[in-house]
Amino acid sequence: MADNTSIAQQLLAALHNLDMADLAANPTGQPVARISIRTMGGEFVGELQLGQRAAEETTNAASAVAEYALAMPADYQAGRTAPTANSELHPMAAAELIDMFDSLDLVTLTKTVLNAAAPTDRLAATKAIDDVFGHIPHPGVEDGDL
């Protein structure tokens, strides 16, 4: 188990990463909140400023955890546990997931995604799809026609 200072440093680092993502997406954004973190003994760990989106998302995440803790106190107090080797998905749920994925028309889904992308982003989106799935030839369809 981590000590109090390590836990506080991890929280500060996570908030910093969130704020960096916010800043990358909105480089002209201004900070709206300053958070100082101290251990329970009063030892200063650090502080940072958060942009609007990062502050809003931090609030949303804390609110969601609080709602969960209040609604299911026993589960919350038990903490997170990793799935065991014996953990299994209910057979009906597994069958529903398989049916859902089998029913997907990947060509139509790909066309929808690429058509929704800005024209300047379509090549990057196509390359990202190819990076994940590899180039998938479609008989009778020329590259760029999807």
The label of the residue with tokens 């931090």 reads 58
* pTM metric for this prediction: 0.49
- pLDDT of 144 over the 80 cut: no
Query: Considering the chain, what percentage of its residues have pLDDT values greater than 90?
Result: 11
- pLDDT of 16 over the 80 cut: yes
Cβ proximity of 32 and 52 under 8 Å: yes
pLDDT tens, position by position, 73-123: 888 788 766 556 566 767 777 788 888 888 888 778 778 888 888 888 888
> Quick one: pLDDT at residue 36?
92
User: What is each CA distance from 71 to 59, 62, 67, 77, 82, in whole angstroms?
Assistant: 18, 14, 6, 12, 21
Single-letter code of the amino acid located at 74: A
SS3 133: helix
> Quick one: pLDDT at residue 118?
85
Task: Work out the mean pLDDT of the chain and round it to a whole number.
Answer: 81
Cβ proximity of 39 and 6 under 8 Å: no
